[in-house]
Amino acid sequence: MAISKYIKEIGRGKDGARSLTREQAADLFGQVLDGEVTDLEIGAFCLAMRIKGETAEEMAGFLDATHARLHKVPTSCTTVVLPSYNGARKLPVLTPLLALLLAREGLSVVVHGMASESTRVSAQNVLLDLGIRSEEAIEKIAPGTAQFIPTTLLCPGLARLLDVRRVVGLRNSAHSLVKLMNPCNSPAIVVGSYTHPEYAASMAATFHLTGANALLLRGTEGEPVADPRRTPAMDAYLSGEVSRVQEAQGGSLLTVPGLPAPDAPSTATWIKAVLSGTEPTPQPIALQVAHIVQLVKTMSKSKSNTP
């Protein structure tokens, strides 16, 4: 079935476009992921949604379609999910540091991502310099470990849609979706990040609608890690219900002594120094780790109290 009937609804311009129901959005996105539509239809879908913007119902439908097609990661406990798709341009990408600090706390950590811009340094590059290679198959993750899973292993159709950015030069709905999805076969805490306030509102609405467990913050250049120069506000979600766990730090951006250049080798060397105690953990990231650990404990306690 073609998706032209949906494009007619969402492609009427910013003011004339109509939103899809959750079921319609799931049908549309499923066809896109399954490769049942033409390149022209994919381009029309991406640009139409870019102009219109996704509603929480539509994003929930896109997630439904994606989760039905994911090759899910087997887990034995609550896992922390770090979507890493933006990479570094001006600042070092410190998602690997967050992942390893959380693993040191005994948590299972899944970092998933792929590069959609060749000019940025990705978390995958830094992890490789830290001796952590990308997984070549979906394997069960153990507590106290971190692994990087390429998007193409989780869902090849999703990776193809993300790659459209290289052709048209614009992000599409897939770039928002990957920051919301749980790739595990059991409940997990998704660390979602945004760059602009409108994305914060959209992500918050979707987390609430889908009953997600998550931590939401303004990340560093779109990565799910707190800016080491100033602590952002952080909101925790348990079954979709939100609470503010960290207020934003006021004032101007601070200077972090010793913060490395954004290239992968320099970043990896600095992360090793932080993990060994030679360099201090930036306070914003230390706070983020503490909030995630507490969220895992609260989530585990809630599960144990469920009849």
What secondary structure does DSSP assign to 4-36, as a single string? HHHHHHHTSHHHH--PPPHHHHHHHHHHHHTT-
Question: Can you give the residue ranges of every domain in the chain?
Answer: 19-67, 79-304
Percent of the chain with pLDDT over 70: 97
Q: What residue has token string 């039905």?
A: 68
CATH of 19-67, one of 3.90.420.10, 1.20.970.10, 1.20.120.1200, 1.10.1060.10: 1.20.970.10
State which residues of the chain have pLDDT below 50. none
**Calpha distance 112→260 (Å, rounded):** 23
List the end-to-end C-alpha distance of the chain, in Å, as a whole number.
Answer: 44
Q: What is the structure's pLDDT at 304? A: 58
Q: What is the structure's pLDDT at 254? A: 76
Q: What is the structure's pLDDT at 306? A: 54
Q: What is the structure's pLDDT at 301? A: 76
The region, left, alpha or beta by phi > 0 then psi within -120 to 50, assigned to residue 87 is left
pLDDT tens readout for residues 130-152: 999 999 999 999 999 999 999 99
CATH number for the domain formed by residue range(s) 79-304: 3.40.1030.10
Q: What is the structure's pLDDT at 305? A: 58
Asked if the domains at 19-67 and 79-304 fall in one CATH topology, the answer is: no
- pTM of the predicted protein model: 0.94
